[in-house]
Amino acid sequence: MRALQRFTVTAGIGLLALLGAGHQASAQIKIGAVLSVTGPASFLGDPEKKTLEIYVEEINAKGGVNGQKLQLVFYDDAGSADNARTFATRLVEEDKIVAMVGGSTTGATLAMIPVFEDAKIPFISLAGAIQIIEPVRAWVFKTPHTDKMACEKIFADLKTRKLTTIALISGTDAFGKSMRDQCVVVAPKAGINIAIEESYGPRDSDMTPQLTNIRNKAGVLAVVNPGFGQGPAIVTRNYRQLGITLPLYQSHGVASKQFIELAGPAAEGVRLPAAALLIADKLPNNDPQKPVVVNYSRTFLHNSGQAVSTFGGHAYDGLMILVEAMQRAKSADKAKVRDEIERTKGYIGTAGIVNMTPTDHMGLDLSAFHMLEIKGGDWTLVPGT
Amino acid sequence: MAELLQFISSGLTVGAIYALVALGFTLIYKASDIINFAQGEFVMLGGMTTVFVALAGVPLPLAALIAIVVTTAIGLALHRLAVEPARGASPVALIMITIGASIFLRGIAQIVFDRRFHSLPPLLGADPIQFGGAAILPQSLVVLASATVIVTLLWLFIDRTLLGKAVIATAANRLAARLIGVDTRRIVDFSFAVSAAIGAIAGVLITPIALTSYDVGTLLALKGFAAAMLGGIGSAPGAVVGGLLIGMIEALAAGYLSSNYKDAVAFLIILVVLISIPQGLFGRAKIERV
């Protein structure tokens, strides 16, 4: 018995030493990611997760950042802001990450912001609403275009087509609501009159009552649908079902092939503002974004087998901005990295060309958006936008 | 007038689905006094299985048939493996078992299928039929017609066949039914299987209109339960009327009041029914001799 006891103790100490040694040897840079891979935002979170995994592996294969390998610590919030908040706390307290790239949805991001602000960890969000970076918070950045920019781009196109009286039908999720609020604020300046507003829950399966009200409102010349997920797909299907022929505009929240698949033939003629990524091969050759977006599209398709999505592109931009900031700071120190992220200038990404300042933690302007129209089940560029 | 017609047609479509789910609840309740909250998952399994089997290359009608058979088998397994062994437990425990089963099925669906939304091509084409200024999808008519056919068949079965009488006997008094030679376990097996089949058929039919994903079952089960309670749990025509009513009230509320309160309608109805008329519209109040 005594020999056995001694053996067990020795083995235990040996194991601990091994574990300790192992831990020393691989001091990895831990990057956290909380994404909505399941649930109503799954076509945002799924390509985001795949992108982060593909590129972390690629970066590590080339030697990592500043000589250290990256380690991705990932959680799925299933589209719930509560879950996101819990995982954020876990990332800070248990996993001890040094930076965070994530927050697929506006709701999840807003819930997590206080956690990362308190812990002073740089947080690059992948969500759309303008509240994420306005008012500017020291530790929070974002890569996607804001909902305000989407409204401005859509209204500019409406003005060009002389469709100045519109209807708004928005989802009651955080992004839909935020974009609806921004559109209402921006409309008078853009010369657009919102004649009627309707809304739907993010999990509703039938929007014909709301669209019937819109159809019966006199003077409406076009309809704008802020929202993301399955809602806009059902709105688009119901739109055609009711025989409404007015131009329909979606937000960049539907910038994924899955929207076209779900909406089917109803998606023909729908317009939306989106990043150059969706029309990578159709960009003119002198467009500075072309090499980046074509390369990303091919890598993503090759590694995941799925068509490219702008949401995956936002994750790519977030990761690259973070990695380049770490390389410029020559360390993974949270404060230094934060400062370098804020100094990002001339970064050419999938969303556009990023120039951040202490008061602008997104760095994109309206030229980063193009107006696309869905034709023949594919994206086409509306000329001149 | 045209918009009222539109709201009614939307309401009837979604109401027909609630009716089919409510029928499932009713059938199982009739045979065994159990409320089966996994009913919504049967609808989900019907839709999702069809989508995935069709994606694997199987022609659509065969895929739908396979989906219905698989779901029926799962319904049977639910009874044999989860409910039957706990037969003597209190009704609350049995309900908790079915809720647990629904969570389990939902979790399995995420892994076996995926977490995205899916659609199916409609049976009779996608062009809406115009009448009186309103547009109704041919698929909606298919759903309504199927609900009617299923209800009629069920009613004929319960009323005119010996097996149907055996179901009523089991529902009335389990011990007495066994004493006269009814195999009550088989009867409850049968009710679970038929409910699962009805749920699967509903799932296949509604997917072209309302899309499907791994978690559509929860809300459907709750609304189907509301419909069953409204119509009077234990009454098949009541389930159908309850489902159509809830569908229409939802559509009218979304159209005339605000779409934000649409889901609240079903839950409000459950509250009102349970408090003031627990036997529902068509049920008979239970009177016990003391």
Count of structural domains within chain B = 1
Give chain B positions within 8 Å (CB) of A203: 219
CB A312 within 8 Å of CB A48: yes
Here the CATH number for the domain that contains residue B264 is 1.10.3470
The answer to whether residue B281 sits within a structural domain is no
Identify which of A38, A205, A262 has the shortest CB distance to residue B115: A38
Query: What's the mean pLDDT when you consider all of chain A?
Result: 89
- Bigger pLDDT: A368 vs A316: A316
| A interface test, pick of B117, B214, B249 with most A CB neighbours within 10 Å | B117
How far apart CA B41 and CA A64 sit, in angstroms, is: 46
pLDDT band, very low/low/confident/very high, at B5 (cuts 50, 70, 90): confident
Give chain B positions within 8 Å (CB) of A243: 128, 130, 135
**B140-158 tens-digit pLDDT:** 888 889 888 998 898 888 8
- Paired with B131 in beta bridges are B134
pLDDT of residue A6: 74
pLDDT band, very low/low/confident/very high, at B287 (cuts 50, 70, 90): low
How far apart CA B279 and CA B6 sit, in angstroms, is: 32
The answer to whether residue B105 sits within a structural domain is yes
- Bigger pLDDT: B242 vs B133: B242
Give chain B positions within 8 Å (CB) of A227: none
Domains of chain A: 28-145+289-368 (3.40.50.2300), 148-274 (3.40.50.2300)
pLDDT of residue A24: 42
Helix (H, G, I), strand (E, B), or coil: what is residue A145?
coil
The answer to whether residue B35 sits within a structural domain is yes
Span B65-86, mean pLDDT?
A: 93
Give chain B positions within 8 Å (CB) of A41: none
- Please say if the pLDDT value at position B14 is more than 90: no
The answer to whether residue B288 sits within a structural domain is no
CB within 8 Å: B7 and A212: yes
**A204-253 tens-digit pLDDT:** 888 888 898 899 899 999 999 999 888 899 999 999 888 899 999 999 88
CB within 8 Å: B251 and A265: no
Span B173-189, mean pLDDT?
A: 89
The nearest alpha carbon in chain B to A210 belongs to B255
| B interface test, pick of A42, A211, A212, A216 with most B CB neighbours within 10 Å | A212
The answer to whether residue B262 sits within a structural domain is yes
The answer to whether residue B11 sits within a structural domain is yes
Q: Residue B82: left if φ>0, alpha if ψ -120 to 50, beta else—which one?
A: alpha
The answer to whether residue B289 sits within a structural domain is no
Which residues lie closer than 8 Å to A179 by C-beta, 6 or more apart? A128, A129, A147, A150, A151, A170, A226, A227, A251, A253
pLDDT of residue A362: 92
CB within 8 Å: B115 and A37: yes
The nearest alpha carbon in chain A to B118 belongs to A262
**B21-30 tens-digit pLDDT:** 999 998 888 8
The answer to whether residue B290 sits within a structural domain is no
Percentage of the residues of chain A whose pLDDT score is greater than 70 = 95
How far apart CA B259 and CA B278 sit, in angstroms, is: 28
Tokens 């209204």 — which residue? A155
pLDDT band, very low/low/confident/very high, at A21 (cuts 50, 70, 90): very low
Q: What's the pTM value of the predicted model, to 2 decimals? A: 0.77
Please tell me the distance in Å from B31's CA to the nearest CA on chain A: 32
The torsion angles phi and psi of B207, rounded to 5 degrees, stand at: -60, -40
Please tell me the distance in Å from B118's CA to the nearest CA on chain A: 7
Domain with B205, as residue range(s), is 2-276
Give chain B positions within 8 Å (CB) of A42: 115-116
Span B111-118, mean pLDDT?
A: 83
* Full DSSP string of B203-254: HHHHHHHH-B-TT-HHHHHHHHHHHHHHH-TT-HHHHHHHHHHHHHHHHHII
CA distances B24 to A219, B21, B196, Å, are 46, 5, 7
How far apart CA B86 and CA B96 sit, in angstroms, is: 11
Q: Pick the range with the lowest mean pLDDT from A11-15, A66-70, A148-152.
A: A11-15
How far apart CA A54 and CA B35 sit, in angstroms, is: 47
pLDDT of residue A1: 58
Percentage of the residues of chain B whose pLDDT score is greater than 90 = 32
**Does ipTM come in above 0.85?**
no
pLDDT band, very low/low/confident/very high, at A22 (cuts 50, 70, 90): very low
